[in-house]
Amino acid sequence: MERKDLLNNYKRQEDKMLLAQVLDKIEQMGKTQKIESTDFLDMYQVSLVETFLKKINFENYKLYGGFDDAERKILIIYTEKYTEEMLSKNYGKLLKIVRVELGEEEKGKYAHRNYLGGIVKLGLKREKVGDILVFDEGADIITLNDFAEILQTELGSLTRFQNSNIISLELSNLRALELKLEEVKIIVPSLRLDNIVSDLARTSRSKASEIIAQERVFVNGQNETKQSKQIKQGDVITIRGKGRFVIKEFTGTTRSGRTVVLVEKYI
């Protein structure tokens, strides 16, 4: 299928532009026989690109964000000669860490929004920055290698970080984030996605339908816009702006026939 025909299947201009960039990267890799990569993609873009690459039967790619469960990832395109081991050696050439070590008075007080808000306030391009791993004593911010120095310098200019030590480190120094989960129970009339989202987001079913239509819901990493999709035990549901949830167990039914669902929420 011709390039134009491939892209004409997508209605949104930003989707077409992204996928055109992906095709350009594939073409460039074919010419140079060198690894090509994109900026960071959000969860919607990751899902879009992965579906597109499968559609065109292109297999020599990796979506990587610095660690296994990263939400924001870069697309890495490579030739057939690359093994997984060879590819992994290039991760450190593509990504880096900017570590913020908070001053004593700020430790334990800063959340994800404090770091992301600083990046937005500075007018820095969000696509240059990946996941932000937050700890009591500071944060590890994953960034493109060639953007690390800029981010380090710019963050240091913010008042909120005036007592902080901000350094640039190799990706191998990334600290593991201890996942914290909270168990909650929801009671739903059925296992349709819109019902589940309504309870998880603590909103009306009509509002949940809007959230799904706005492409803000992901099931097992894939963008899902079908409201009637049936949710299964073990599914991981991410609602942008609301959090990530694991459907752990169906524990029973009420007298009225509603299903009781045990959910683990990432906190």
Query: Which regions of the chain are under pLDDT 70?
Result: 1
How many domains does the structure of the chain reveal? 3
Residue 154 sits in a domain whose CATH number is 3.30.70.330
pLDDT score for 9: 85
156's tokens: 């240091």
Residue 46 sits in a domain whose CATH number is 3.30.1370.160
Among 173, 198, 225, which residue terminates a domain? 173
Among 56, 89, 122, which residue terminates a domain? 89
pLDDT digit string (tens) for 168-216?
999 999 998 887 889 999 999 999 999 999 999 999 999 999 999 999 9
Contact predicate 230/191, CB 8 Å: yes
Residues 84 and 98 reside in one and the same domain:
no
Residues 79 and 110 reside in one and the same domain:
no
The whole domain housing 185 covers: 181-266
User: What is this structure's pTM?
Assistant: 0.88
Residues 99 and 72 reside in one and the same domain:
no
* Rg of the chain on CA atoms, in Å: 21
Q: Which residues pair with 239 in a beta bridge?
A: 217, 243
